[in-house]
Amino acid sequence: MQANASEQTDQMRTVTDTLRRVLGNTLLAVYLHGSAVAGGLRPQSDIDLLAVIDRSMTDHQRSALLAALLQVSGRHPAAVGGPRCIEVMVFVQSDLSANSYPARSDFTYGEWLRDAFEAGETPMPTRDPEYTLVLAQARSQAISLFGGRPAEHLPEIPPERVRQAMHEALPALFCGLQGDERNVLLTLARMWHTAKTAEFVAKDAAAAWAVPQIPDQDAATLDYARRAYLGEVVDEWDVRLGDARRLAELLHTRVTEASTCDAIEETLLSESNPEQRSP
C-alpha cells in the first residue's frame, strides 16, 4: 500500500506551509492539480502542486525551498507505505498569459531532477511546452489550497496553444520512453484523448478510452500499462520494450493526426463563418 489519505494530506499541508513560509507575501496562490484531482491518486502518482507568486524568487528562496522539498518528497519510485513523490511548479503572475508561449516556470521541483539537485544544481526559470499543458489542465481542474480560485490566477489556454504544446512536447516525451515506459505510454494516450476531445482526464481513463480504437496487440500493451498504473500488476518492461516502442509510435501518430485534423477543421469553420473571425 501507498501512504494513506491522512499522510498524503499531511504532505500537502507541509508543502503548502513551506511555500507560505519561504515565499512570504509574494505568494498569491497554491493549487493541487494532476492525478489527485483528475481521477484520484494511484499507487505511484505524484502529489502535484502549483504556486503563483507576484515576483521572481530570490536565490535564498530557491535554496530554502529546494532544501525543504528534498526532505519532504519521497524518492522515485515511492516506497511502499512511504511518502509520495512531490512535484512543485512556481509561476510568476506576470508570466501567466495565454500569449506567453511556451510557459515559463520560475521554479520546478520533481523527483526526476533529484540527482541534479543533490549534485548542487538549483531550480532556475525555464520555458517548456509541458508547462503550458500543466497550466491548461490546472485551470480546468485544480483545487485551491491557498489564495483564489484557479481562474483568478491561471490563464485560459486556447485550444490551438494546447495542440501546439502537445506537438512540441512529443519529441522529448518519445525520447524518454526507455526506463519510463508506463508513464510515457499513458501520457501519450492522454494527449491523444485531449487532442480529440479538448478534455483532460486521468491517465487510466485516457487509456481505457484509447484501447478499443487501436489494434489488439497494441491495446494489450496499453492496457498492461493502465493496470500497472492502477496497481493491479507489477510492470516489467525489459521483455516488452519492442511492444512499448511500437505502441509509442502509434500513439505519437494518433496525437499528431488528431491535432492536425482539429486545427484544419477550425480553420475551415472560421473561413466559412466570417462572423467568427477575429476583427
Distance CA 44, CA 54 (A): 33
Mean pLDDT of 40-58: 92
Determine the pLDDT at residue 261. 60
Dihedral through CA 202, CA 224, CA 7, CA 21, nearest 10? -50
Determine the pLDDT at residue 5. 56
Question: Which listed residue (87, 111, 130, 181) is catalytic?
Answer: 87
Which residues, listed in sequence order, are joined to residue 105 by a DSSP beta bridge? 126
Mean pLDDT of 33-38: 88
Residue 111 exposed, middle or buried by CB count within 10 Å (0-12, 13-18, 19+): buried
Where is 133: in which H helix or E strand? helix 129-141
* Residue matched to cell numbers 503550458: 132
pLDDT over 70 for what percent of the chain? 90
Q: Which one, of 251, 261, 171, lies nearest residue 211 by Cα? A: 251
* Residue matched to cell numbers 511548479: 89
| Average pLDDT value over all residues in the chain | 90
At residue 273, does pLDDT exceed 60?
no
At residue 172, does pLDDT exceed 60?
yes
Mean pLDDT of 176-186: 95
Distance CA 266, CA 180 (A): 34
* Residue matched to cell numbers 481521477: 39
At residue 266, does pLDDT exceed 70?
no
The set of cell numbers assigned to 73 is: 518528497
List phi, psi (to 5°) of 92: -85, 135
Question: Is 58 in a helix, a strand, or coil?
Answer: coil
Question: Is 93 in a helix, a strand, or coil?
Answer: helix
Question: HSE of 205 in the Cβ direction (CA atoms, 13 Å)?
Answer: 12
Determine the pLDDT at residue 268. 41
**Beta-strand relationship, 107-109 and 126-127:** unpaired
Determine the pLDDT at residue 189. 98
Position 35 confidence tier, pLDDT thresholds 50, 70, 90: confident
Structural domains for the chain = 1-156 (3.30.460.10), 158-279 (no CATH)
Per residue in 10-22, pLDDT tens? 999 999 999 999 9
**87 flagged as catalytic:** yes
